[in-house]
Amino acid sequence: MKAIVIKQYGGPEVLAIEERPDPVARAGHVLIEVKAFGLNHAEIYFRRGAWGEVAEISGIECAGLVRSDPSGQFRPGQTVVGLVGGMGRSLNGSYAELTLVPVSNVVAVETDLSWEDLAALPESYATAWSAIISILKLKRGQTLVIRGATSALGQAAVNIAADLGVLAIGTTRRYARAGLIEAAGAHAAMIEGPELSTTLRREHKDGVDAVLDIVGNSTVLDSLAMLKRDGEVCLIGFLGGGEPLSLQPVFNIPSGRRLSVFASALVLGGSEFPLSEVPFQSLIDKATSGAYRATPAHVFGFDDIREAHSLMESGDAKGKIVVSLG
């Protein structure tokens, strides 16, 4: 099979297309013929070696067809999505014509979406849904700030929150992108900056119910300052980098507020967060109907992986990047 491999740690130029042996189906795993896969910021850290030693073949999600499943749970030719479960980290991932995914991290779906449109959904929407519904437990009429809302994950979160009837406020670093957030369903857009909480409280004096922080450690303390009593910040991304956070709970977490984390790449598909809890078919149906604005912002060919990674790293993608295998 053709595969995109990490030759050494570094920039997009270290990604190379080479031949590798076809994976062999084995117990507990599903062999998938990859039709398209989405790119994720985690794969930048994999490529750089920032998170330690990782698999030679990157990629934490894909859409494709079942080639083989020794368990018999999935039939050959069935349309599936596969995500995380060690993909790209401890197991060779989806940057290949074939990939082997733990059966716990494969979901069968029915859809008329193109492979490219389907591949834009799995990781972003599963993560956003889990954080908003399972972790934050938000309800209609509550207010949610989404920091990093122009990212693929951020736009998924805006879509899900708006469809739920949650008042979503999205943040962006650039004023020109405010319209992108509002088009996804946000009630309002705000420009990122130091002590954004002060600006937010001019309109929301008592604070907000929740903050979904995709920017990361550089903003999480300010996110905590946005909360009303019983509010919660859920940290789910590191768009701003993964530098260590110095946190003194008594002084940095306002009394009666909560800080939680959802590390989707580590827990989705596990016993505490099984994929059966995520309504993938419903999410796909909403994308199909247009209830979610979920189409990829950019689609690249397999041979253009370096260009795709360069765009993702630049922060200029304005949404999901998908790679099609044709």
The residue from 218, 249, 265 where one domain ends is 265
112 and 164 part of one domain: no
114 and 143 part of one domain: no
Give yes or no for residue 269 having a pLDDT over 90: yes
Q: In degrees to the nearest 10, what's the CA dihedral of 81, 263, 143, 295?
A: -30
Give yes or no for residue 239 having a pLDDT over 80: yes
100 and 65 part of one domain: yes
Residue 310 lies in a domain: yes
309 and 248 part of one domain: no
Confidence at 202, pLDDT banded by 50, 70, 90: very high
Q: Residue 87: what pLDDT?
A: 97
Regarding pTM above 0.85, the answer is yes
The residue from 225, 244, 265 where one domain ends is 265
Phi, psi of 16 (to 5 degrees): -135, 145
139 and 258 part of one domain: yes
18 and 89 part of one domain: yes
Average pLDDT, the chain: 95
Closest to 148 measured CA to CA, from 190, 187, 176, 185: 190
| Residues spanned by the domain of 113 | 2-120+295-324
37, β-bridge pairs: 323
- Residues 286, 281: Cα–Cα separation, whole Å: 9
151 and 238 part of one domain: yes
Q: Residue 122: what pLDDT?
A: 97
- Residues 261, 211: Cα–Cα separation, whole Å: 11
Strands (E), 73-174: 79-83, 98-102, 106-108, 143-147, 167-172
137 and 159 part of one domain: yes
Number of neighbours of residue 52 by Cβ within 10 angstroms: 8
Q: Greatest CA span in the chain, whole angstroms?
A: 60
Mean pLDDT of 183-205: 93
Q: Which two tokens stand for residue 306?
A: 């370096």
Q: Residue 242: what pLDDT?
A: 67
Mean pLDDT of 160-182: 94
Residue 199 lies in a domain: yes
State the amino acid at position 200 in one-letter form: L
Residue 228, helix vs strand vs coil:
strand
Residue 281 lies in a domain: no
- Own/partner contacts of 11-14, CB < 8 Å, gap of 24 or more, are 11/47, 11/48, 11/313, 12/47, 12/305, 12/306, 12/307, 12/309, 12/310, 12/313, 13/306, 14/47
Number of neighbours of residue 249 by Cβ within 10 angstroms: 7
Q: Which two tokens stand for residue 108?
A: 């069968």
Number of domains in the chain: 2
Residue 289 lies in a domain: no
Residue 179 lies in a domain: yes
Cβ distance 133 to 156 under 8 Å?
Answer: no
Q: In degrees to the nearest 10, what's the CA dihedral of 200, 293, 325, 72?
A: 100
DSSP state of 278: S
Q: Which of 15-24, 69-78, 82-91, 212-221 has the lowest mean pLDDT?
A: 212-221
132-149 confidence digits (pLDDT tens): 999 999 999 999 999 999
Give yes or no for residue 250 having a pLDDT over 90: no
Mean pLDDT of 241-245: 73
132 and 219 part of one domain: yes
Q: Is residue 284 left, alpha or beta, with left meaning phi > 0 and alpha meaning psi from -120 to 50?
A: alpha
The residue from 265, 287, 303 where one domain ends is 265
Strands 208-213 and 227-235: parallel
What CATH number has the domain bearing residue 203? 3.90.180.10
Residue 286 lies in a domain: no
202 and 257 part of one domain: yes
286-303 confidence digits (pLDDT tens): 999 999 999 999 999 999
Give yes or no for residue 245 having a pLDDT over 80: no
Residue 270 lies in a domain: no
Residue 221 lies in a domain: yes
Confidence at 248, pLDDT banded by 50, 70, 90: confident
% of the chain exceeding 90 in pLDDT: 88
Q: Residue 216: what pLDDT?
A: 86
45 and 81 part of one domain: yes
- Residues 189, 176: Cα–Cα separation, whole Å: 11
116 and 132 part of one domain: no
